[in-house]
Amino acid sequence: VYKRQRHDNRSLIALVVLFYYFWLMTIISFVQTAMSDPGMLPRNIHPGQWQTQNEFSSFITPQDYYNIVTLPAHTSKKNHPEMNNSIDIKYCKTCKIWRPPRSYHCPTCGVCIQTHDHHCIWVNNCVGQRNYRYFITFLMGAISTSSLLIITGSIHLHRVHGVTSRAPVSILLIIYGGLVIWYPLILLLYHIAMTATQQTTREYLKTMSDNSVKNPVMHPRIKRVPTNIFDRGNYVTNMFSLMGQVRGPN
């Protein structure tokens, strides 16, 4: 019995160590997501032609810049007649630059972001090419921490034979972990489905709006887009290529 108790105590100590490891991982990844550069593109400080009228100067955007430029693009998907192998490049009138593919202008941050996924109000920062992996790590760490909180509380409650008066803190922590785990879990599953189809949140919402879906957030299923030139043809390859993409220059 003594050896069994020692083994149980070691197991609990290991769970506690794992809990603090995932807790630190959650805090660090949250700070990295909130404070790191999401992939901001530098503005054009030499926009070109200026016009002075009534002592006020303003930049004249050439009319050609309002057009959408279609360029040829390489795709790994073969034998798809619906694939036009082209991509549209747009000009940002605010940053005065031609945006690279999958880059969008965030009106909240006021800059163009590479591989822009969405602007997260919880971290007060955009989620883009340079901090997307930190965002995914934050979700995974939050889920792992909440799971270990529920497990350790349940084990302690079992050791006191279910007497709630002897373990009130464990009851509160189990309830707290059960409530907290749902939001990051649903968000992580959503991003797994998005990355598996090689889509960002912005691209998905645009596709749903183009298909006249009234509420794209509550759409029952995330489907692959046949005309998506970034789709590599495999769910696992898509997921790891988007989650582990090269961060690029700061």
Point out the residues that are catalytic.
120
Contact at 8 Å (CB) between 29 and 137?
yes
Q: How far apart are the first and last CA of the chain?
A: 58
> In sequence order, which residues have a C-beta less than 8 Å from that of residue 84 and are 6 or more positions away?
227
In DSSP terms, which residues pair with 70 in a beta bridge?
A: 88
Alpha-carbon span 19 to 134, nearest angstrom: 19
User: How big, in percent rounded to 5, are the helix, strand and coil portions of the chain?
Assistant: 50, 15, 40
Burial of 116 (0-12, 13-18, 19+ CB in 10 A): buried
Q: How many residues does the chain have?
A: 250
